[in-house]
Structure 1
Amino acid sequence: MVFLEVLRPKQWTKNVLVFAALLFSVKSATMEMLWRSIAGFALFCLVSGCVYILNDYLDREADAAHPEKCRRPMASGRLQPQAGLIFGLLLAAASLYAGWRLEPWFAALLGAYFIVNVAYSLWLKHVVILDIMLIAVGFVLRAIGGGLVINVAFTPWFLLCTMLLALFLAISKRRHELYLLSDGCGQHRRVLEQYSPELLNQLNSIVTTATIMSYSLFTFTSGHTIQLMWTIPIVMYGIFRYLYLIHMEGLGGRPEKVLLEDVHILSAVTVFAASVLTVLYWFE
């Protein structure tokens, strides 16, 4: 059970982005495309889990001083660090091989995702600004991977929307960590010493505006039906609700937890997906 826990299955909701390609290709979707998307989602879950194992191994001492992360298997001492690391390496190799059998280009992207995240864990997470940008890159790679596994291309506007939304979540996460850890923030994550609430609030304002504008432009220029514009208010509500949770409720440190526990965010995501499916199926 502890080996499953160290893979952080609660954070696998981030990999749902793999299904975006299938969602926007609903008119031409087949059962084979569905199964390939499910396989791609599962492989991203396993590889991202391996990255979490490496993170936990490297940060086990700092996590032990964190009020929430101290309960993780390695930080709490429930999992021997070397055993966890070996398990992660074997699982990563098996996942990449399975990805190659599924689709070679998808396997290459999966490998790139793993390498980028290893570089992030070892060094780049300590580089201010670049740390949050690399988190966003991980989401873009998920979106591209979802397209590769079913041989569907994305428009640049959609990838830009994905990048900006991921930046929004990453900035919100840093803000929550800064708020939660207060004066001892540098003991847990050194890069937090180079951020301030004012800077993060300013970055979030920029990214929020750019996200809404980019998604609006995507609905008009993606080549899909113009009726997608009716989903713009749903996107705006989801973003505004998340900002409310950040500034009024002190949340935002764990986006996957907010998605599952805040009924308003969950409802917005569900209504958005249903609306896109309906619009593309009936008006495309």
Structure 2
Amino acid sequence: MTLVRTLVALVRAMRPRQWLKNGFVVAPAVFAGHAFDPPALLRVGAAAGLFCLASSAVYLVNDVMDREADRCDPVKRYRPIAAGELSVHVALVAAVLLASAAVALGTTLGRGVLTALGIYLGLNLTYSLGGKLVVVLEAMLLATGFVVRLAAGALAIDAEISHWLLICGFLLALLLAFGKRVPEVSHPTSRTPRYPAAFLTEAVTLLAGVTLVAYVLYTVAPDTQAKIHSRALLITAPVVLFGILRYLFLLTREGSQDPTAALLADRPLLVTVVVWTVLAGVIVAQAGGHP
């Protein structure tokens, strides 16, 4: 039973719910016209799986380093390492094995994906070793990790990726990173950045608007329309607008600390993501382009 409890605690500490973030790896396939191409989806799916392994290793290391502070947090104290359900030794060994497996398997998808994995692990090591305590920088490190995911997806299928898509991905991730800090203002710990509430409100509001504008500019950019031979991508903009506003609504109403939990718990937001993915995939696939 002890082994079973340890394995259950380990899986919880790996945060499988957070693997949803690695869906960013799949996005380039959608915008490269491969949304319904099984071989391409298999490769980006494999790349996303490697990032799941790498991100779980990162979570384990981060929780080991934050365990003392987490014990003082009303929510984080229930994390397996902070709660004493998973030993530091087991967590670190598992982290090394997961990261090693991700890197070893990454060689099968090419040097580009392997490099992206290395950069991702390096960014998160920087974050865990102190970058997370530097206001603004910590959010930018997290957002850059999502850009690396996008790049990895493109590299996995040898597809060209638009600089607009990278910009939109970075801005959206930055919005979610700052939104995640909103609830922490009321119960800061020694391992969380200290943001004034007014700053977070302004940052989230600004980024919500800038993200939408960047996405609209991406859909109407001559380069984008030339590659997909269509202007239809613009019709996905209202879907993006609804998704952003819905997230802001949840943030204001509930102070949702975890964007992933908000997505899984809120049906309208989840449906919005699915609708956008299908709509964008169909538009690009029918046009036969790759913005």
Residue 15 of structure 1 aligns with an amino acid whose one-letter code is: N
Whole-Å Cα distance in 1 between the matches of residues 36 and 153 of structure 2? 13
Q: Which residue is equivalent to 2:132? A: 125
Whole-Å Cα distance in 2 between the matches of residues 141 and 266 of structure 1? 23
Q: Does 1:24 align with 2:31?
A: yes
Residue 266 of structure 1 aligns with an amino acid whose one-letter code is: L
5 Å-filtered alignment, 1:181-220, equals 181=187, 185-189=188-192, 191-192=193-194, 195-220=195-220
Structure 1 residues 27-36 or 163-172, which shifts more? 27-36
Whole-Å Cα distance in 2 between the matches of residues 25 and 148 of structure 1? 12
Whole-Å Cα distance in 2 between the matches of residues 19 and 276 of structure 1? 13
Q: Which has the higher helix share?
A: 1
Q: Which residue is equivalent to 2:244? A: 239
Q: Which residue is equivalent to 1:95? A: 102
5 Å-filtered alignment, 1:69-84, equals 69-84=76-91
Q: Which residue is equivalent to 2:112? A: 105
**Quick one: higher RCO (CA 8 Å, sep 6+), 1 or 2?**
2
5 Å-filtered alignment, 1:160-199, equals 160-179=167-186, 181=187, 185-189=188-192, 191-192=193-194, 195-199=195-199
Contact 1:15/1:44, CA 8 A, preserved across alignment: yes
Q: Does 1:266 align with 2:279?
A: no
Contact 2:73/2:189, CA 8 A, preserved across alignment: no
Are residues 132 and 246 of structure 1, via their aligned partners in 2, closer, same or farther at CA, if it must alter by over 3 Å?
Answer: same
Contact 1:20/1:146, CA 8 A, preserved across alignment: yes
Given candidates 65, 70, 84, the residue that maps to 1:63 is 70
Q: Which residue is equivalent to 1:142? A: 149
Whole-Å Cα distance in 2 between the matches of residues 161 and 217 of structure 1? 10
The TM-score with structure 1 as length reference comes to: 0.93
Whole-Å Cα distance in 1 between the matches of residues 87 and 97 of structure 2? 16
The TM-score with structure 2 as length reference comes to: 0.91
Aligned length in residues? 276
Specify the SS of the correspondent of 2:101: helix
Residue 77 of structure 2 aligns with an amino acid whose one-letter code is: C
Contact 2:53/2:101, CA 8 A, preserved across alignment: no
Residue 63 of structure 1 aligns with an amino acid whose one-letter code is: D
Q: CA RMSD in A?
A: 1.4
Contact 1:66/1:188, CA 8 A, preserved across alignment: no
Aligned-residue identity in percent: 36
Are residues 205 and 28 of structure 1, via their aligned partners in 2, closer, same or farther at CA, if it must alter by over 3 Å?
Answer: closer
